[in-house]
Structures are given as C-alpha cells and as structure tokens.
C-alpha cells in the first residue's frame, strides 16, 4: 500500500467476502467510515438479505435521529453487492467472513490473490482457524492477517489483530491503523487457538458447567452468583443460551483439540447433550432455560456464602487463564485486559482484578483446587507463582 493510502484511510476501497451476519456488519462499518465497499457472496439470497438488513438498520438509525436520510442514502450508496470475486480488483483491503472451514478459506484466498493488486491486504475474520494456514494459500503470504471482529460487529468495540508468522510488519501496522481509524479498540494477539478472548474466556463457561455437574448449584444460582456478586452483565448459562450451545460447544471442542487436548479446555457433557438435544438457547426457544411464553423462570438460591465460592472459583480460573496468556506472550497485559472488557463486557480486566484480589489469594485458591481435585486443569500459571514469590503486581 502506498503512502497516500496509509495516511488517508477514507480513500481506501474495502472488499468484504461473505454477506452473513459478520460480513454485513463489517461492510456497514466500512461504508459508514466513508469507504467505497464491495460485498461479495456466492449466494444471491444472502446478498439480498444483507442488502435488506442494511437498509432496515439504516432506516432505524434515521428514525432514532442518529443519522439523517441523506447520510443513510450515501452510506448505502457506498456499498456494491456482487457475486463475483473479480470485483475485488481495485480493493486496498479485503476482509473475508465466509464459512469457518480451512479448505474453503484457503481456496478463496488463492482466488482473491489472483484478482487483487500486489499491495492489497487480505484479512480473515476467522474465530478459530490458524492465520498461518490461511496465509499459506497465498503467494505473498506477508499480506495476509487476521482481523477478528465480535458479533454484532458495528456495536462491539473490540477487534483482535492477528499477524501470522508470515505477516509483514507493514501489513500489521496498516491494518491496525485502519481499524483504529474506524473507532474500534484494537488489540494485538498471537496466532494461537482462540486468540485472546476465545481462549481466556473458556473457564467462564467450562468451570460454570463443572460446578453445575458436581451438583454445587443449579443454572439460575450460578448465573445469580456471577451477575450479583461478580458484577458480570450476564451469567454463564444465560450467555451460552444467547451465543447458542451449538456454536459455543463447537468453539470449546476446537480450542480443546487445537491445544493438543490440554485438560484445562475439556468440553462438558452437559453442554454437548444440550446441543445434541437441539436445545441451543434463545434461537430454539430452549437451552439451559425455557424461553416459551408464560414459562416461569427458575429462581436462584441466594446463599451468599455459596455464591461467593462459585464466583471466586470461576474468577480465579479466568485470572489464571489471563495470566498464562501473558506468560506465553499471547498479548500485552494492557491488551489482555482490554480484550475482556471491550470484547465480552467483563466488569474489569482480569489482570487488574487479580491485583485487586491479591495475587497471593488468587494463587492460594488455585492451589486449594489443584490439591483437592488433583487435576491438571487447576494448575496455577508459572507466572502467577513467580509474581507471588517476587511480591509483584501486574499494574
């Protein structure tokens, strides 16, 4: 990319491949940020649906006086809809958001590279695939990078920027500056399974499910503990019902496999059975809770002592995961904390929270679990042990 382009982001033409929920959200952001955009999907119906959805969203923004009609028309006018990858030919960056399948992604990356100019950046919005493998499909692998938005893309501030081993410094710098110019919060993550958020957040679901399976408490009580005592916006079971147990289970399973079956990431039968039963959550009317009309929701047992135990157990597992991510240089301590507050709305960054709880306390709680269960799942991070030994804090 040449200099004028890097300093005047509005001049860039942006391509988006895949008109599903993520692709249409990304194109909305880019068009709102004054870019000419091309949205390509092989499926005509997906394109029509995306166009209709985008019109509706803009119409609602006009109704709410967030933008005027003229602006809505201009934004819509900046988007070209196409079924042909060749229409990416003048793009300065293309962001891919198609089906989560490595073989298919590699095929489209090779195809995209054959039509774009030699300085066009090719990015993937993948949640779980290795950027290095996707990049390997390209002759100029140094132009390939991960740019991971969260759902819904126009509303969630976080974007993870993931350079592969092959990615050039220039590709990373230009990509991050561009997404920053879209008023997003960017964090830099290593090309490892789950990047930052989908790795560090695993215990929020996994430990909650384990607590339930042990019969310590029911779904409603665990959700109550995490919201009322922990200060989280949503409890783990309510959140899994939102995300969908099918999707959340698949992510857990793929992170587990990608970490060479590290027992820390072991999926749960409870969630597997819910997914198998078709109890995906809100979208199917039933998940851990029953969303049918008129059904009374179960009430939590508000025992403060048990609530605090549940909350502390999930929290120290989350903190341990964040600390281990820092230990393994997945991201900086600032970015690890930003990722969890801006990507999944945690009330506090986990590292700053661990400082507040006292690192010696965090370690003691983990060691208690480790001794009690004798499971590798509870092993405290080496970095946590060192920090306690040296009497240090993260911030």
Ligand X SMILES: NC(=O)c1ccc[n+]([C@@H]2O[C@H](COP(=O)([O-])OP(=O)(O)OC[C@H]3O[C@@H](n4cnc5c(N)ncnc54)[C@H](O)[C@@H]3O)[C@@H](O)[C@H]2O)c1
Instruction: Identify the residue among 15, 18, 193, 203 touching ligand X (CB under 6 A).
Output: 18
Q: What is the dihedral of CA 16, 20, 24, 27, to 10 degrees?
A: -10
Name the one range near ligand X by CB under 6 A: 18-26, 161-169, 186-194, 320-328.
Answer: 18-26
18 vs 267 by CB, closer to ligand X: 18
Q: How far apart are CA 384 and CA 378, in angstroms?
A: 13
**Beta-ladder partners of 93:** 14, 121
Catalytic residue among 118, 148, 274, 368: 148
Q: With binding defined as CB under 6 A, does residue 158 bind ligand X?
A: no
Which of the ranges 3-11, 149-157, 289-297, 317-325 carries the binding residues for ligand X, by CB under 6 A? 149-157
On the CB side of 269, CA atoms within 13 Å amount to: 2
Q: How many residues at the interface with ligand X, by CB under 6 A?
A: 23
Q: Helix, strand, or coil here: 224?
A: helix
Near ligand X by CB under 6 A: residue from 12, 14, 23, 91: 23
User: How near is the Cβ of 324 to ligand X at its closest, in Å?
Assistant: 23
Binding residues among 109-148 for ligand X as defined by CB under 6 A? 125-127
- Among 11, 52, 59, 104, the residue binding ligand X under the rule CB under 6 A is 104
Q: Which residues contact 7 (CB under 8 A, 6 or more apart)?
A: none
Which residue from 12, 14, 16, 17 is in contact with ligand X, where contact means CB under 6 A? 17
Judged by DSSP in three states, 336 sits in helix
* Sole residue written with tokens 């607590």: 211
- Give the 3-state secondary structure of 80-98: EEECCHHHHCCCCEEEECC
Identity of the residue, 148 or 313, whose beta carbon is nearer to ligand X in the bound complex: 148
Cis peptide before 152 (omega within 30 of 0): yes
Whole-number Å distance between alpha carbons of 208 and 214: 10
Tell me if 46 contacts ligand X by CB under 6 A. yes
CB of 176 to ligand X, least distance (A): 18
Q: Which residue is nearest to ligand X (CB)?
A: 20
Closest approach, Cβ 322 to ligand X, in A, equals 20
By CB under 6 A, residue 19 contacts ligand X: yes
**Phi, psi torsion values for 146, nearest 5 degrees:** -95, 130
Q: Tell me whether residue 18 or residue 236 sits nearer to ligand X (CB atom).
A: 18
Query: Could you count the other beta carbons within 10 Å of the beta carbon of residue 117?
Result: 11
299 binds ligand X (CB under 6 A): no
Comparing C-alpha atoms, which of 238, 181, 182, 185 is closest to residue 208?
238
Q: Please indicate whether residue 148 is annotated as part of the active site.
A: yes
Please list the alpha-helical segments (H only) found in 64-147. 69-77, 102-115, 131-135
Token pair for residue 379? 């092993």
Among 1, 14, 16, 22, binds ligand X (CB under 6 A): 22
Rank residues 52 and 382 by Cβ distance to ligand X and give the closer one: 52
99 touching ligand X, by CB under 6 A: yes
* Enzyme catalytic residues: 148
Q: Could you list the residues that contact ligand X (CB under 6 A)?
A: 17-23, 41-43, 46, 97-100, 104, 108, 125-127, 149-151
């Amino acid at each position: 990319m040449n200099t004028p382009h890097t300093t005047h982001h509005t001049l860039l033409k942006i391509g988006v491949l895949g008109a599903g929920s993520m692709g249409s959200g990304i194109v909305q952001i880019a068009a709102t940020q004054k870019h000419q955009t091309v949205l390509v999907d092989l499926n005509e119906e997906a394109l029509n649906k995306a166009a209709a959805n985008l019109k509706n969203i803009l119409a609602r923004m006009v109704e709410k006086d967030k933008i005027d009609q003229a602006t809505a028309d201009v934004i819509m006018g900046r988007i070209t809809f196409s079924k042909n990858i060749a229409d990416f030919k003048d793009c300065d960056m293309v962001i891919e958001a198609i089906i989560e399948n490595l073989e298919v992604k590699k095929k489209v990356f090779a195809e995209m590279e054959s039509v774009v100019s030699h300085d066009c950046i090719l990015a993937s919005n993948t949640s779980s695939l290795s950027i290095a493998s996707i990049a390997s499909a390209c002759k100029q692998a140094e132009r390939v990078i991960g740019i991971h938005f969260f759902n819904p893309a126009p509303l969630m501030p976080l974007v993870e920027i993931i350079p592969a081993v092959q990615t050039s410094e220039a590709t990373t710098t230009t990509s991050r500056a561009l997404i920053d110019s879209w008023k997003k919060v960017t964090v830099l993550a290593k090309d490892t399974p789950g990047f930052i958020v989908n790795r560090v957040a695993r215990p929020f679901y996994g430990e909650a499910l384990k607590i339930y399976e042990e019969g310590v408490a029911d779904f409603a009580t665990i959700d109550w503990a995490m919201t009322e005592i922990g200060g989280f916006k949503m409890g783990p079971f309510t959140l899994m019902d939102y995300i969908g147990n099918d999707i959340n289970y698949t992510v857990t399973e793929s992170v587990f496999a990608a970490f060479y079956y590290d027992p820390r990431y072991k999926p749960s039968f409870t969630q597997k059975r819910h997914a198998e039963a078709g109890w995906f959550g809100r979208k199917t009317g039933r998940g851990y809770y029953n969303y049918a009309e008129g059904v009374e929701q179960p009430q939590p047992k508000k025992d403060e002592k048990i609530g605090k135990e549940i909350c502390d157990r999930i929290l120290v597992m989350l903190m341990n995961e964040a600390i281990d991510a820092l230990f393994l240089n997945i991201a900086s301590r600032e970015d690890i904390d930003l990722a969890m507050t801006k990507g999944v709305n945690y009330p506090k960054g986990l590292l700053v929270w661990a400082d507040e709880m006292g690192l010696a306390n965090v370690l003691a709680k983990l060691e208690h679990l480790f001794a009690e269960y004798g499971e590798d799942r509870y092993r405290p991070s080496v970095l946590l042990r060192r920090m306690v030994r040296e009497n240090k804090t993260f911030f």
